[in-house]
């Protein structure tokens, strides 16, 4: 029962990261340089980094890859919902190049983070017998 509640909480955390990330990923620095404008998409990088860290945290919390997979599923659901047009015609995630990089980069790096094995730091004591 506790494991099921943990997975529900992890799924909701994934939804929260997806909803917040849909708005933060659009933030960027625009710097004027001699050859034009330099655009640094810091919001997208930050959200993908947070997504990967939270996914690894979920795998360590559950001590299984299921934790990361459930969180990634919540993020994908929220991201798809935020990319859909609302009844008023608003869209949080548009179809630009930066949004495609955010979506595909999040899916690729999130899947990689969710599928890495969970390394346990517990070391089993080894009992050696001496044959005399």
Task: For 96-118, write each residue's pLDDT tens digit.
Answer: 788 888 889 999 999 999 998 88
Residue 36 carries which DSSP code?
Answer: E
Is residue 69 situated within a structural domain? yes
In which domain, by residue range, is 91 found? 2-115
**Coil, strand or helix: which one is 38?**
strand
Q: What is the pTM of this model?
A: 0.81
CA 60 – CA 66 distance, rounded (Å): 10
d(CA 60, CA 88): 41
Phi, psi of 30 (to 5 degrees): -120, 115
Asked if the structure places residue 130 within a domain, the reply is: no
Distance CA 25, CA 46 (A): 8
Per residue in 2-31, pLDDT (tens digit) is: 888 989 999 999 999 999 998 888 888 899
Number of separate domains in the chain: 1
With respect to residue 57, please indicate whether it lies within any of the assigned structural domains. Answer: yes
Q: Is 76 left (phi over 0), alpha (psi -120 to 50) or beta?
A: alpha
């Amino acid at each position: 029962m506790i494991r099921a509640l943990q997975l529900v909480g992890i799924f909701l955390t994934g939804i929260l990261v997806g909803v917040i990330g849909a708005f933060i990923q659009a933030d960027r620095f625009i710097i004027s340089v001699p050859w034009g404008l330099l655009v640094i998409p810091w919001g997208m990088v930050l959200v993908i980094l947070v997504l990967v860290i939270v996914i690894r945290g979920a795998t360590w919390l559950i001590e299984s890859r299921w934790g990361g997979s459930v969180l990634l599923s919540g993020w994908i659901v929220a991201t798809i919902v935020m990319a859909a047009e609302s009844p008023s015609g608003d869209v949080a995630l548009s179809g630009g190049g930066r949004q495609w990089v955010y979506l595909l980069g999040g899916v690729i790096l999130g899947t990689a983070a969710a599928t890495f094995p969970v390394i346990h730091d517990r070391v089993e004591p080894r009992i050696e017998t001496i044959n005399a």
